Amino acid sequence: LKRYGVSCVPTVKKFTLDPALDEFVLLGCDGFWNCWTASEALNLASEAWEKEIRSSKVHSRPVDPQNVSKQLVEHVLIDKKSQDNITVLLLKISRK
């Protein structure tokens, strides 16, 4: 499969998280990241997170990170017109 551009070798990066500064971890496949910069994705994720917090208060329900992930996927599919597969995982960092 390697000759067709398929590789089983992941891109791995190591970061130190600071719960006082970092809000969440955003993981995604190439179909997600190839459409925009990390800064653009994080800005939209932050906006979507704030929107989800407001919506949860209005509807008296818990905040659901899956709703934020769904908004990000829809943005890549609809606004960025991606035709690749898209996987996104949003991990909220708890602040104590």
User: Looking at beta carbons, which pairs linking 9-14 to residues 24 or more positions away fall under 8 Å?
Assistant: none
Residue 47 sits at φ, ψ, to 5 deg, of -65, -45
Locate 74 and state its tokens.
Answer: 């829809």
pTM of the model: 0.80
Angle at 38 between CA 81 and CA 41, to 5 degrees: 55
Domain count across the chain: 1
pLDDT digits (tens, 9 = 90+) for 23-61: 889 999 989 999 999 999 999 999 999 999 999 999 999
For residue 12, the enclosing domain spans 2-92
